[in-house]
Each structure stands twice: as structure tokens, then as C-alpha cells.
């Protein structure tokens, strides 16, 4: 029987994937919905026209189009990777005692903790990310920052740095994050000096990346923690399932349910306009386009991810297409 939603059998040929991405870029460049974030003043300088797409496969191929080299700050996409470092430092049960793994229907910057446990809901919302960051091990703030930068370097495959203007911009306007941090400190969810935890969090959000870097980072997650370009391990393989399941359920904030339902892949967005998507075993997808929807997710980014997932049958639970993997088709 033919159902109205049965998947189309005619998937585009993956051999011309570069041409496919170029078409996608052309199709969505004119889309002018959404608004560039301005609550962090430095982010307001971004052009609404910037638009880059990059796909990195787990066998080391890169496909890129548009502004894939333009540098921007990683923002909330950093939260996934810092969660990995915190898990390596403390293990699952400690981290779970400080930060939950429940999706929340609230916005990413909501000032809300679980009523009973007093934990922030998950490591992808600001409260949970600040708490997670506060547990990174190290002898001093500099040591903790350097451990973080070193971790990001392994995912990206080259040296990384923090954008000082964005860091200062966030730090001087971050009253909301500061309020959350002090509230969590009151309940024992933050371990060391609150101001230092906040600075470290603002620094991780101000890490400079481009779309290509993000795609390689996502491909490293897809490759169970090994950077497919350098062969370096960025995170212990045993924690990939933690990161991907939290991305899947919480990565797109109060749109996470609909994202999981329609696109069906773990993803994470940031307010500077980046989105990463992980296709386990196969590839990392990154899109950069600053205009955001009301939930703080890139508008063009959402469209591109939805198209790639649908066109190549990548929804994790799409049984009818499960055997037709992307890499098998790529010549």
C-alpha cells in the first residue's frame, strides 16, 4: 500500500554531492527570515547574508560551499564537547548528580532548575552548561582553559583561540548567566569560584571556528571520537553515546522534539548561527548562517539539515532506507 508519507525512492546520486550542496546553497540563500542575535553586542555585527555549508565524512572527505571559511564564535555548540571533557574528568554518575539529562520545554537561557534535585535540566541549556564547565579539572583557571583549548584542538585538527572581543562582550552583558550561576552555587551544583566558572564558560563560547572546523568536529563525533583527518582521538569512545543522546534530545532546545521527529539526527545549534549534525558512522554536517528563529536556531541551517536528511534518507529511525547508506553510494 502507498502511504502519503512513504519515502521517495529516487535519492539524488551521491557522486555529485558537491553539486547537490551548491544547489541547496543557492536555493536557501534568498531566504531572509530570522534575526541575527544582538543580546551579545559583538554578535550583532554579523551579516544576515553569511551562509556556509560543509560536510566532512568519516573517511576524510570534505565538501564545502559558500562562507565555509568565515570565522565566527562557536557559542553553544561548544557545550557538547565540554560535556565530553567533564565526563572524562569525572565519569557519568558524578556528572549526573550535578546536571540532569532531561529535555526542557523552556528557552536555552531560562532560569530554571529541577525542583527536587536542584540540578539544571541538561548540559545543552545555559544553566547546565555553566555547571558542566565548572567541573572541568585543572590546577588553575589557566590550566582549565588550556585543557579545554587542547580538547578543541584535537577535534578541529589545528590550533584554536578565543575571540577576546566576544568574550568581553559576553562577560559584560551576561547578567542572566551570572544570576543562574549564583543560583546554582547556592544549591551546590557549581564547584569552584562562580566568576571563574562564568569566565571559562564565556571563553568556551567565544572559541573561533569556521564551518569547516565544525563539520570536522561533528565528523569526529560520527567517527566515535577519532578525528578523521588527523587520526587523533578527541574523546573516549565510551562517551560518544552520552554526547549524541543528549544532543538528540536536548541539542535544539525547545525545538528538540520536532527536530528529532522530522530530521531524526543528533544536532546542536549556537546563537552565532552555527548548527552541527552528526550522522553516526558516516559524516558530520555543519551550517553557518546568523539569522535565528524565535528559539535561537539558524533558519537557513534548519532548512539545509532538513533537506539533507530527507534527500538521503538519514533519519535514524527510517527503517525503509536504513540499508542505503550515504557512503555506499559515494563513488
Shorter beta-carbon distance to ligand GLN: residue 13 or 105 = 105
Contact 279, 326 (CB under 8 A): yes
Assess 205 for contact with ligand GLN (CB under 6 A): yes
> Distance (Å, rounded) from C-alpha 222 to C-alpha 58?
7
Torsion of CA 97, 99, 103, 109, to 10 degrees: 160
Assess 298 for contact with ligand GLN (CB under 6 A): no
Number of residues lying near ligand GLN (CB under 6 A):
11
Assess 108 for contact with ligand GLN (CB under 6 A): yes
For residue 146, the tally of other CB atoms under 10 A from its CB is 12
**How near is the Cβ of 150 to ligand GLN at its closest, in Å?**
21
* CA 213 to chain CA centroid, nearest Å: 12
String of contacts with ligand GLN for each residue 257-276, x by CB under 6 A: -------------xx-----
> Distance (Å, rounded) from C-alpha 215 to C-alpha 220?
9
Catalytic (active-site) positions:
76, 79, 201, 253, 271
Shorter beta-carbon distance to ligand GLN: residue 203 or 309 = 203
**How near is the Cβ of 202 to ligand GLN at its closest, in Å?**
7
Assess 81 for contact with ligand GLN (CB under 6 A): no
Assess 291 for contact with ligand GLN (CB under 6 A): no
Give percent helix, percent strand, percent coil of the chain, each to the nearest 5: 50, 10, 40
Assess 297 for contact with ligand GLN (CB under 6 A): no
Assess 104 for contact with ligand GLN (CB under 6 A): no
Assess 296 for contact with ligand GLN (CB under 6 A): yes
**How near is the Cβ of 20 to ligand GLN at its closest, in Å?**
28
Buried b (16+ CB within 10 A) or exposed e, 272-311: bbbbbbbbbebbbbbbbbbbbeebbbbbbbbbbbebbbbe
**How near is the Cβ of 122 to ligand GLN at its closest, in Å?**
13
Assess 170 for contact with ligand GLN (CB under 6 A): yes
What single DSSP character describes residue 268? E
List Cβ neighbours of 41 (8 Å cut-off, separation of 6 or more). Answer: 169, 173
Q: Is 231 helix (H, G, I), strand (E, B) or coil?
A: coil
Assess 109 for contact with ligand GLN (CB under 6 A): yes
Q: Per the structure block, which three cell numbers stand in for 109?
A: 537561557
> Looking up cell 528529532, which residue turns up?
260
**How near is the Cβ of 285 to ligand GLN at its closest, in Å?**
18
Using CB under 6 A, which of 57, 58, 68, 76 touches ligand GLN?
76
Question: What are the two backbone dihedrals, phi and then psi, of residue 107, each rounded to the nearest 5 degrees?
Answer: -70, 165
Using CB under 6 A, which of 104, 122, 134, 177 touches ligand GLN?
177
Site residues (CB under 6 A) for ligand GLN, limited to 113-152? 126
Shorter beta-carbon distance to ligand GLN: residue 282 or 297 = 297
Assess 204 for contact with ligand GLN (CB under 6 A): no
Assess 103 for contact with ligand GLN (CB under 6 A): no
**How near is the Cβ of 100 to ligand GLN at its closest, in Å?**
18
Tell the burial category of 48 from Cβ atoms under 10 Å away from its Cβ (0-12, 13-18, 19+).
middle
Which residues are near ligand GLN by CB under 6 A?
75-76, 108-109, 126, 170, 177, 205, 270-271, 296
Amino acid at each position: 500500500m502507498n502511504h502519503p508519507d512513504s519515502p521517495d525512492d529516487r535519492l539524488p546520486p551521491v557522486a555529485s554531492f558537491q553539486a547537490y550542496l551548491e544547489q541547496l546553497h543557492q536555493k536557501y540563500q534568498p531566504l531572509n527570515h530570522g534575526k541575527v542575535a544582538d543580546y551579545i553586542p559583538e554578535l550583532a555585527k554579523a551579516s544576515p547574508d553569511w551562509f556556509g555549508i560543509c560536510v566532512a565524512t568519516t573517511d576524510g572527505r570534505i565538501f564545502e560551499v559558500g562562507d565555509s571559511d568565515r570565522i565566527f564564535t562557536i557559542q553553544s555548540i561548544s557545550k557538547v564537547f565540554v560535556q565530553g571533557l567533564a565526563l572524562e574528568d569525572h565519569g557519568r554518575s558524578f556528572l549526573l548528580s550535578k546536571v540532569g539529562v532531561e529535555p526542557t520545554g523552556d528557552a536555552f537561557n531560562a532560569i530554571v532548575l529541577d525542583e527536587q534535585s536542584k540540578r539544571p535540566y541538561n548540559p545543552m541549556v545555559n544553566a547546565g552548561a555553566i555547571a558542566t564547565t565548572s567541573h572541568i579539572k585543572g590546577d588553575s583557571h589557566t590550566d582549565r582553559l588550556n585543557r579545554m583549548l587542547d580538547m578543541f584542538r584535537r577535534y578541529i585538527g589545528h590550533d584554536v583561540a578565543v575571540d577576546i572581543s566576544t568574550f568581553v562582550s559576553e562577560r559584560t552583558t551576561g547578567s542572566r548567566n551570572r544570576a543562574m550561576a549564583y543560583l546554582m552555587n547556592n544549591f551546590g551544583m557549581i564547584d569552584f569560584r562562580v566568576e571563574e566558572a562564568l569566565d571559562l564558560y564565556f571563553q568556551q563560547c567565544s572559541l573561533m571556528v569556521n564551518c569547516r572546523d565544525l563539520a570536522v568536529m561533528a565528523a569526529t563525533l560520527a567517527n566515535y571520537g577519532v578525528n578523521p583527518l588527523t587520526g587523533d582521538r578527541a574523546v573516549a569512545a565510551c562517551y560518544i553515546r552520552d554526547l549524541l543522546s543528549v544532543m538528540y534530545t536536548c541539542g535544539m532546545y525547545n525545538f528538540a522534539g520536532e527536530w528529532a521527529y522530522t530530521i531524526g539526527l543528533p544536532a546542536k545549534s549556537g546563537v552565532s548561527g552555527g548548527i552541527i549534525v552528526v550522522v553516526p558512522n558516516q559524516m558530520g554536517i555543519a551550517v553557518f548562517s546568523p539569522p535565528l528563529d524565535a528559539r535561537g536556531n539558524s533558519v537557513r541551517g534548519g532548512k539545509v539539515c532538513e533537506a539533507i536528511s530527507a534527500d538521503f534518507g538519514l533519519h535514524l529511525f527510517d527503517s525503509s532506507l536504513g540499508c542505503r547508506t550515504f557512503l555506499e553510494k559515494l563513488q
